[in-house]
Amino acid sequence: MKFTASQRATRTVLVLGALLATSITMTACGSGGSSTAAAGAGSSAELTAFTEQAQAAVDAASAAQTTETAPVPTGGPAPKAGVELTIIPCSMAVEGCARPARSAEEAAKALGWKPTIDDPSTGQGGASAAVQRAVATGADAILLTSIDAGSIKADLQAARDKGIVVVANMAGNADELYQAIVPPLEANFDAGYLLGQQAFLIAQERYQQPVKAIVFEDQEFATVKQRVAGFVQFVQDCADAGGGCSIEYQGKHLAADIATTLPNQVVQTVKQHPDYNTLFLGFDAALNAVVTQGLLPAGLADPSKAQGVSVDCDVANATSIAEGGFQSACIGFAFLRAGYGHVDNVNRLLDGQDAVDQGLVGKLITEANAPTDGEAWDGDFDAVAEYRKAWGLD
């Protein structure tokens, strides 16, 4: 059954009103440690305002983006000639790393630059060695995707000391070694919080319950830690407002576990917490593996009983959302334009100017607006054309 935004808000408020007297304890146990936070005793007015705020945020974040709400910057310097750009993704086999790498390569070629993708996942010594190769071969600039500065500090410092411009996509920025990051790290916290708001509304509409979440966090990545922090903060705010939201379990995993132990670990956790209704993982590749390799084979991926939410909006995840599958929502960033944004910042930095906000804003993708063409969401307007115009190419 479909609901309009106003119908969802009204229905959610009515259901939450009936839950006001319920106090649900937030617990986290297992490998993630344990903590408790009693659900707040917020007033009916406070809870109504909280719900309306969540609905307004969801409506705004799921609306089509425009050149006004997600603007491409203008006024930069003329494109430099002959720039050698080394692009280092976390892995070209990972969609969220490969998409911005490919788009940056495309943008660099459009300017007549010489881009090279050096994939550190192919057994050539990792990201550290890739940065060293870029320095040794005389790169003018380096773009890294989903590689935290803290993991290769000495190599990045060596590149900076050589006067090489260093920027990153979706990464932590220890010691400010990256001269620009797209999107900014705090956008990941906001994405996690927004997914909490969406899960809250869906849980009321679909399950007539507050969010009862199982959370798994990959602590290797600053971006993922921020996403989890945002989601957990929403749950706490919901509890404080009297909404009864709770964390039933919070655990940890590594990226290497995705194709091995994580799916079964989540299955066992779900069986131990049968009353949960929301599963949060920090990125889509992890959630997709958990669903396809764990929950579905175990018969535990019924969207009428529980939902999954995460960040990236990879093709498989967006397709599942569009088809009304277990995953109900994701936050997507238009990585096609992100690559162009990185090249724009590199050009500014090479000219001695400061990097600028590239206008990349996360979008909430749900069943109502998910792409149905088998492609990743990459924006609601032609940002590439805007960049080409700004660079004087068209």
Q: What is the pLDDT of residue 198?
A: 99
Range of lowest pLDDT (17-21, 93-97, 123-127, 304-308): 17-21
Instruction: Report which of 24, 21, 1 is spatially closest to residue 11, judged by C-alpha positions.
Output: 1
Mean pLDDT of the 45-65 span: 97
pTM of this structure: 0.88
**Torsion region of 389: left, alpha or beta (phi above 0 gives left; psi -120 to 50 gives alpha):** alpha
The answer, yes or no, to whether residue 6 has pLDDT greater than 50, is no
CA atoms of 172 and 149, how far apart (whole Å):
6
Q: How confident is the model at residue 122 (pLDDT cuts 50, 70, 90)?
A: confident
pLDDT on residue 30: 40
Checking if the pLDDT of 319 tops 50, the result is: yes
Torsion of CA 43, 44, 48, 50, to 10 degrees: 20
Contact between residue 179 and residue 165 where contact means Cβ atoms under 8 Å apart = yes
Q: How confident is the model at residue 281 (pLDDT cuts 50, 70, 90)?
A: very high
Pairing between β-strand 84-89 and β-strand 141-145 as defined by DSSP bridges: parallel
Question: Is residue 283 within 8 Å of residue 311, measured between CB atoms?
Answer: yes
Split at pLDDT 50, 70, 90, the class of 124 is confident
Q: With cut-offs at 50, 70 and 90, classify the pLDDT of residue 120.
A: very high
Mean pLDDT of 163-184: 98
Dist. CA 141–CA 55, nearest whole Å: 42
Q: State yes or no: pLDDT of 8 exceeds 70.
A: no
Q: What are phi and psi of 386, to 5 degrees?
A: -65, -40
Say whether pLDDT at 353 is over 50. Answer: yes
> Please, how many CA atoms are within 13 Å of residue 262, restricted to the half-sphere of its CB?
22
| Sheet with 84-89: strands ordered across | 114-117, 84-89, 141-145, 165-169, 181-182
Contact between 238 and 198 under an 8 Å Cβ cutoff? The reply is: no
For the chain, give every residue range classified as CATH 3.40.50.2300.
Answer: 5-65+186-332, 84-182+337-346
Mean pLDDT for 274-281 is: 98
What local confidence, expressed as pLDDT, does residue 42 receive? Answer: 55
The continuous run of DSSP H or E covering 240 comes out as helix 222-240
Measured at the CA of 277, the angle between CA 203 and CA 216, to 5 degrees, comes to 120
Helix (H, G, I), strand (E, B) or coil at 241: coil
Which band of pLDDT confidence, cut at 50, 70 and 90, is reported for residue 376? confident
Confidence of residue 1 (pLDDT cuts 50, 70, 90): very low
In DSSP notation, 126-190 reads: HHHHHHHHHHHTT-SEEEEES--GGGGHHHHHHHHHTT-EEEEES---GGG-SS-EES-THHHHH
pLDDT at 28: 38
Range with lowest mean pLDDT among 41-45, 76-80, 151-155: 41-45
pLDDT band at residue 85 using 50, 70 and 90 as cut-offs: very high
| DSSP secondary structure code for residue 248 in this structure | E
Calculate the average pLDDT of the chain: 90
Confidence band, pLDDT 50/70/90 cuts, at residue 113: very high
pLDDT band at residue 13 under the 50/70/90 scheme: very low
Query: Which fold does the domain 5-65+186-332 belong to in CATH?
Result: Rossmann fold (3.40.50)
With a cut of 90, say whether residue 288 has pLDDT above it. yes
Average pLDDT, integer, range 44-67: 97
Query: What's the pLDDT at 56?
Result: 98
**CA–CA dist 322, 313 (Å, integer):** 11
- Tell me which H or E stretch contains 16: helix 5-19
- Give the CATH number of domain 84-182+337-346: 3.40.50.2300
Q: In the structure, what pLDDT confidence band is assigned to residue 171 with cuts at 50, 70 and 90?
A: very high
